[in-house]
Amino acid sequence: MTILLLSGFFAAWTYKEKIVLSLKANGYLEFTPDEAVTLAYTKCGTCHNIDKITKYCFRCGPPFIVVVHNMKKLTTLERKKPGRESLPDFTDAEAAAITQVWNALIGNWEEGWRKEDIEKLMKGDDALIRLLHTSQSNRKIEQALYRKSIPGTHKEGTFKPMSTGFNTK
């Protein structure tokens, strides 16, 4: 019995990082801002050049919350195609974290869109709709990364930190 317990403890310790990441990906634990940035670069960089992502602006299309929703749907469809099964899937917690990363580092222009329109574009994506209705000052990852940026970006859009309760000091 002792050997069984020790081997179980050893296995859990060996896979501790994977277990913790799985708990975070499934929303049981929160991603740290650094983990969320790594996640965004890893997941989005699978299909897109990061330089292209950094050039995205409010004139290019909808806010990142809608873009991430579309990527969730697209990867689900693409994974069904032969040879594309290895595309990374997005969990709801990962999608919320990735949205906050790009909002903070590139720009959040959700204020320039009606919430009803964004909800229609997200077609019942409950996790991202919950994020949409979470004030930006209560989005922990976005708040933590607010003052940071990515080389080659110029934050723009309708985002006004003073109007959303962001700590700008």
- Look-up of token digits 């740290």: 32
What are the average pLDDT values for consecutive 10-residue runs of the chain, which has 169 residues?
A: 62 74 88 95 87 80 94 92 87 96 90 93 94 95 88 56 47
The Cα 32–Cα 103 span in angstroms is 16
Question: In Å, how far from its chain's centre is CA 144?
Answer: 14
**pTM exceeding 0.95:** no
* Token duo for residue 147: 């003052």
Question: In Å, how far from its chain's centre is CA 98?
Answer: 1
Q: What digits encode the pLDDT tens for the residues 63-105?
A: 999 999 999 999 999 999 999 888 878 999 999 999 999 999 9
The Cα 158–Cα 93 span in angstroms is 26
